[in-house]
Amino acid sequence: MSEVDLTQTLEELEGEYWSEPNFTSSLVIQVHKLRKKPLCELNNEDLRLLIGQQMSLTVLLPLALERLIENPLRSGNLYTGDLFCAVLQVRKEYWKEHKELNNELDEVIRTYEEAKKTLEEHISKYRRDHL
C-alpha cells in the first residue's frame, strides 16, 4: 500500500461522503463521526470499532498493525488486547488477498507469543519462589 496522508479522513481518502445517519444507533452515529476524523487522530478504540465493523480495512489495518507490532496488547475501551482481537476477526478472504498485511499480522502474533512465553516463565518462577 502506498503511503497514506494521515491528515486526511476516511471520507477524503475514499472520496465517499456519507450523508447524516438515518438510523440512530450509537454505533452508526460513532462510525459516521469517525469517517470525518483525520487518521492521525484515530485512537485504539476508534480503530477497534471501525475494524470490528470491517470498514476501510485497506487504510485502517496498516495503522492498527503498526501499533500492534509495538505492543500486541494495545487496547481500546473494552478489554486488554481488544484491538488485536478485532484484527484477528477480519475475514480470512481479506488476508488471502492482502499477503503483505497478513505477514505483518503474523509478526504481531509472533511478538505476542514470545511475550506470553516470557511472562509465563516469570510468573511460574515467581510462584515457585513466593508461594
Q: What is the pLDDT of residues 5-47, one digit of tens each?
A: 999 999 999 998 887 877 778 888 899 999 999 999 999 999 9
Find the farthest-apart pair of alpha carbons in the chain and give their distance in angstroms, rounded.
Answer: 61
Q: Tell me the pTM.
A: 0.88
- Tell me the C-alpha distance between 69 and 67, whole Å: 6
Q: Give every CB contact of residue 39 below 8 A, 6+ residues apart in sequence.
A: 4, 5, 6, 7, 8, 9, 10, 13, 59, 63
- Tell me the C-alpha distance between 39 and 5, whole Å: 8
Q: What is the pLDDT of residues 50-98, one digit of tens each?
A: 999 999 999 999 999 999 999 999 999 999 999 999 999 999 999 999 9
Query: Do the beta carbons of residue 45 and residue 79 sit within 8 Å?
Result: no
Encoded amino acid at 11, one letter? E
CA-wise closest residue to 106 among 53, 68, 60, 57: 68
Residues 12-27: b if buried by 16+ CB within 10 A, e if exposed: ebeeeeeeeeeeeeee
- Tell me the C-alpha distance between 38 and 34, whole Å: 8
Q: Residue 1: its pLDDT value, please? A: 47
Crossing angle between the packed helical segments 99-130 and 57-70, to the nearest 10 degrees: 30
- Tell me the C-alpha distance between 49 and 23, whole Å: 17
